[in-house]
Structure 1
């Protein structure tokens, strides 16, 4: 038997996508990196919004009832409390450390509203594309509380949480609560103490990016500042080094779909004709039928 080890193929930074200030829902202030326009998607990921504020005026109106078709939405709450309701009768409490994974498929109409009236509201919303043969499947909703999101702590103070997929870190395996997704997403949250580093595996046939949201990191001597998405080159490992302050970032990878994308607001299909049909279905009240 050939016992040769797999050759290490380090990822480097292909490009940086700085987040821009944006608003969504009923005026919720956020920072948008992926999906901000131009060449800012990382197949299969369509959009990444980060929201963080201690000012209730920035988030209190929330996200009133609105539709989606053709993709999946993932909300990861760092701090705060959101109430989710949808047309299927689901009602979820998304609290600090929890995750909401919703497959819009053929269509979903839902709302997300803050439960608290003061304090910090901080988290992310990620949009993940669906392949053409899954865009019209039935909608599905999963609510994962913080205690079901596994984490490991390494001797040097590094912590890793796994939201989706499986990963091996320093010989320790982590399996996130979300699995069985066609694009095989891996979604982890990493905290590095100052002046430390971590080697993370990347699935070779995935497209991957790192979103820095606290402190700074370096990848191959290239600094990654807060609110930047660092899109990685193809490879099977990445080394991230923290600076003089604690660094915290998301690492996301997924199997690219490699299909045409036609998008208008909350509808993501393969052709504009399909988008127009989605709009018509929503206006006619048949989006979720």
Structure 2
């Protein structure tokens, strides 16, 4: 059975961090429908003044942040001692787990184009050990097909395997389609599947979808994508819905109001960070 569109959400312009202009596509109102993806922010600018203010040091707990830059740079620093930069075509994957503070600076570039999504952690993994991982261009397989190609950012596509997270499964594809070219992606019936039209309009499940729109699909065993006029760049995300309660305030996502209150109390008391770098071991 082919998947069809269940819900479509078009982003709106807002400002976050220290003054970064971005398009917020998914947020609090979409938690149940797009489970386990909580938030999706899109970056697309040729004006450095839109984003170079960056995101100063801030906390997270209970989620994984997955940032994909098709164009541009992002510099990451955190309380685990990680300092790193990703650039064109690379992915930054951070599990905040039990608690982390991090900052993201965004240097000027010819164009900043990409997305950050928040992937919810299962209740059993909310207090897992925080980790950081960059997925480099040489780790990302580019798979050609007639009329386009697919970049395997994470997970599995057919016989090909990419980076796998330690918690929820996530198959993450960057699909490039020429005008009128079609790609049919096999899916498991019960997978939670969504797409985001990063550049250009597209036909998703045979329906027209405008640029910068997130689409949640119904259950089914396949998803059809077709390029629109001028071609399309579409991000596809497949995971497993958690069906767990979500308590979300600012940068912290837990399963109950009490857990949220405890997290913010720990922030006030200076006990939020459970894991710190051990410089004797280089960690």
Give the TM-score band, short-chain normalised. over 0.9
Match runs of 1:1-289 below 5 Å: 9-35=1-27, 37=29, 41-114=33-106, 116-154=107-145, 156-168=146-158, 173-177=159-163, 179-289=164-274
User: Matches of 2:246 and 2:32 in 1, distance apart?
Assistant: 13
User: Matches of 2:140 and 2:109 in 1, distance apart?
Assistant: 26
Identify unmatched segments of 5+ residues in structure 1.
Answer: 1-8
Normalised by the length of structure 2, the TM-score is: 0.93
1:195–1:245 contact (8 Å) kept in structure 2: no
Q: Aligned-residue CA RMSD in angstroms?
A: 1.4
Query: By how many angstroms is 1:183 displaced?
Result: 2.1
Identify unmatched segments of 5+ residues in structure 2.
Answer: 275-283
* Bigger mean CA offset, 104-113 vs 75-84: 75-84
User: Matches of 1:250 and 1:22 in 2, distance apart?
Assistant: 21
1:202–1:236 contact (8 Å) kept in structure 2: yes
User: Matches of 1:261 and 1:27 in 2, distance apart?
Assistant: 28
Aligned residues: 274
Deviations 1:228-283 (CA, angstroms, capped at 9, x unpaired): 11110001101112222111110011111110000001000000111111111112
User: Matches of 2:143 and 2:191 in 1, distance apart?
Assistant: 23
User: Matches of 1:41 and 1:122 in 2, distance apart?
Assistant: 26
Deviations 1:28-58 (CA, angstroms, capped at 9, x unpaired): 1111112163567511110111111111111
2:147–2:181 contact (8 Å) kept in structure 1: no
User: Matches of 1:23 and 1:43 in 2, distance apart?
Assistant: 24
Deviations 1:168-222 (CA, angstroms, capped at 9, x unpaired): 2xxxx32122x14432111100000011111111222211111012122113431
Deviations 1:97-125 (CA, angstroms, capped at 9, x unpaired): 111110000001000102x3352122110
Normalised by the length of structure 1, the TM-score is: 0.91
